[in-house]
Structure 1
Amino acid sequence: MELRVLNYFLTVAREKTISQAAQVLHLSQPTLSKQLKELEEELGVTLFERGNRFITLTEDGVYLVNKGKEILSLVDSTTANLIKKDRISGKITIGGGETLAFQLIGKVLYHLREEHPDIQLELYSGNADDVLEKIDKGVLDFGLVIDPVEKQKYDFIQLPLVDRWGLMVHSASPLFSKQTISPKDIETVPLLVSNQSFVDTQLAEWLGGNLDHLNVVGTYNLLYNASLLVKEDVASALCIDGIINTAGTNLTFIPLMPELTASISIVWKKDSFFSRSATAFLQCIQSI
């Protein structure tokens, strides 16, 4: 499968019609249709179905779109990191969960780009499971992860700060006026919890048992959408402090007591062969 043809397919998937994609690619429609047909024959699958107005991706087509984007992104970053050898340039790819620690990374990147303005950034938001998967595949150089996370197969640096766990509640909640939240307070409250691996274990330790007796009505991987459900008083959310600005809203964040905190680490794949830009970033992180 040629990268050129993969790009053709991704363009068709984005534009929804072969005719529009052909215009974007500056190809004739018959030429593009022929290339796509040959791609399907090469792979032995049907990638999309033609409708009256728009194409519809098959299950295999959706899979190729997701993987194709990762492939082209990796090619682009590799190419960028190999050019302009006379100075440090190229792309640094960083993934992370929702945490105020990204501000610390921002300060590092600000000073790094002051010295090396040709460095470009690509950020990805996701929970630790998502981020580590992309590091394993080589799509991300670094990940900012909130513990608890299995880090044995990665190199990492623990950052000099922690996140604080608490409960985000609606103003109508009987817990709204409390200063802290105890394990007993949430025994019957409808809850949204993070679906990150090992978070259940950490929360279970705080509860002194497990989550089985709690009224968990749903899970989330990023907090913003979960906060919208809290705004509608669907449930309260066990979450990290500082991610959602509750000022001027019908929400409030209440810390857990006993206090529950999570350390934060920057991780990368062991024995990675970094670009000069990624190496410069790592050196800056190591000096914190």
Structure 2
Amino acid sequence: MELRVLQYFLAVCQEESISKAAQTLYLSQPTLSRQLKDLEKELGKQLFIRGNRKIALTEEGMLLRTRAEEILTLVGKTKNDIISSDEHLTGEVVIGSAETRGVKELVTVMKSLQSHYPALRFSIISGDETQVLEQLENGLIDTGIISGTVNNHKYQVLPLHYTDHLGLLMRKDDPLSQTDAIHISDLKNLPLIISRQMANERLLEQYLHLSKSDCRVVAKTNLLFNASLMVEEGLGYCLCYEGIIHTDDASALTFKSIEPAITFPLKMVWKSAIQMSKPTQKFIDALTNYEKRLQ
């Protein structure tokens, strides 16, 4: 299986048409069709369902699309890591992180590094903690920002200065907004909007000590912005971290902390058993020094 053929395959997936993909690849349609048939023959599986106007992927085709994207990403990243030099640092540092205001610490370091190495690039890939660790395990990201625990034999850990505070996002005209803080007992039977990670990690039971009968979860989402729209429309109250959604004078929303405080210190993690690329190692060193200055 050649990388070139995987690129052809992904082009067809994107265009949903062999003829359109052939145009973007500057290939003849018969040539591209033959390459795809050879790929299906090599794998022993049908990858496409060919329709009159568009083609769709089979289950095996969808799996190959995911793997092909991962393979080509790793190839490009490996190439950049190898050609990068210490003096003229180039390449990309890929960081996985959930939505958190703590990313500002990383951005401060990114800005400082880019002033010295203009060709250095950064990517932040959003995802919940499970997704971040999965991408880290598969080599799709260099480091991850999480708040949970990890195997210290498997991962290197750098504690960050920032700590997420859990609270409730609500409308300013809601009666609860007049209170100084939200108590855990106030959450019982409220219509709650929570992240999918909170649902998966059973945060309501583990940290808030609320049983399923105490909670009324009306919606789950993986993007806090979408959750804020639900709150604006009066669907419910969003259980989230402070500082991610703006609640200034122009906003219809406000954030109230939960008491007693429920906090989640952030940390950056990366795999112990691999050789870091020069850009990633430079970023880790710079962030480590930055965190020491904050202590």
**Same fold, TM-score > 0.5, yes or no:** yes
Q: Normalising to structure 2: TM-score of the pair?
A: 0.91
For 1:265-276, list aligned pairs within 5 A: 265-276=267-278
Cα distance in 1 for residues equivalent to 2:205 and 2:150: 17
What is aligned with 1:183?
Answer: 184
Q: CA deviation at 1:210?
A: 3.9
Residue number in structure 1 paired with 2:265 = 263
**1:38/1:129 CA distance change after superposition, 3 Å:** same
Summarize the alignment of residues 1-288 of structure 1 with structure 2, pairs less than 5 Å apart: 1-85=1-85, 87-145=88-146, 147-152=147-152, 153-171=154-172, 173-196=174-197, 200=201, 202-247=203-248, 248-287=250-289, 288=291
Distance 1:52 1:138 in 2: 38
Task: State how far apart, in whole Å, the 2-side matches of 1:48 and 1:2 are.
Answer: 19
C-alpha root-mean-square deviation of aligned residues, in Å? 1.9
Greater shift, 155-164 or 24-33, is seen at: 155-164
1:227 is displaced (CA, Å) by 1.7
Give me the TM-score of the superposition, normalised by structure 1: 0.93
User: 1:56–1:200: structure 2 CA closer, same or farther, 3 Å change rule?
Assistant: closer
- Provide the rounded CA distance (Å) in 1 between the counterparts of 2:186 and 2:78: 51
CA distance in 2, matches of 1:41, 1:199: 40
Give the % identical residues: 38
- Between the aligned partners of 1:207 and 1:197, the Cα distance in structure 2 is 11
- Quote the offset at 1:200 in angstroms: 4.6
Q: Which stretch shifts more, 215-224 or 183-192?
A: 215-224
Aligned mates of 1:84, 1:150 — CA distance in 2: 30
Alpha-carbon distance in structure 1 between the residues aligned to 2:74 and 2:198: 26
| 2:84/2:278 contact within 8 Å kept | no
CA deviation digits over 1:73-101, x for unaligned, max 9?
11111111111436322221111111111
Task: Give the secondary-structure state (helix, strand or coil) at the position aligned to 2:175.
Answer: coil
Gaps of 5+ in 2: none
